Amino acid sequence: MHYLTKTFLYYVLIASVALTMNVTSAHASEDGGNIVFNQMLKCLKLPADAPSAYNFMVVAVIKDGSADFLSINFRTPPSEWEKTAAPLIVDAITECEPYSSVSGEMEFAVTRELVEAGSKN
């Protein structure tokens, strides 16, 4: 196992069933997720030739302004492009630290539509 100064757990889950969301913290998670997503976009460099549709579910635990835990989840078996893009999403989240205004568990989607809309702002 490779040890880092920060403890990052990179976990990719291929799920053939729909992901469940934590309903009790959905609103707070959504607000924090938007902050992390928008900041991540500043550092995000996805591979060329993106498919017309992709959908990553990201779970990030932010602690002391840094990503303490990251999970990229797929709703369907990932394409080769998605397998290449997932670690780049993780890199963008960690490169765009600190996240000083949020803490706790954040859940958010990364889709082509959201990335294109966010990059226009």
**Given pLDDT bands bounded at 50, 70 and 90, which one contains residue 59?**
very high
Residue 80's pLDDT is what? 95
| 7-55 residue pLDDT tens | 333 333 333 223 333 333 344 455 778 889 999 999 999 999 999 999 9
Tokens 């053939």 map to which residue?
16
Residue 121's pLDDT is what? 61
pLDDT of residue 111 exceeding 60, the answer is yes
The answer to whether 36 and 106 have CB atoms below 8 angstroms apart is: yes
**In this structure, how many other beta carbons lie within 10 angstroms of the beta carbon of residue 37?**
21
Please name which of 78, 121, 102, 90 lies closest in space to residue 6, comparing C-alpha atoms: 90
| 77-110 residue pLDDT tens | 999 999 999 999 999 999 999 988 889 998 999 9
Contacts of 115 (CB under 8 A, 6+ apart): 41, 44, 46
Residue 62's pLDDT is what? 92
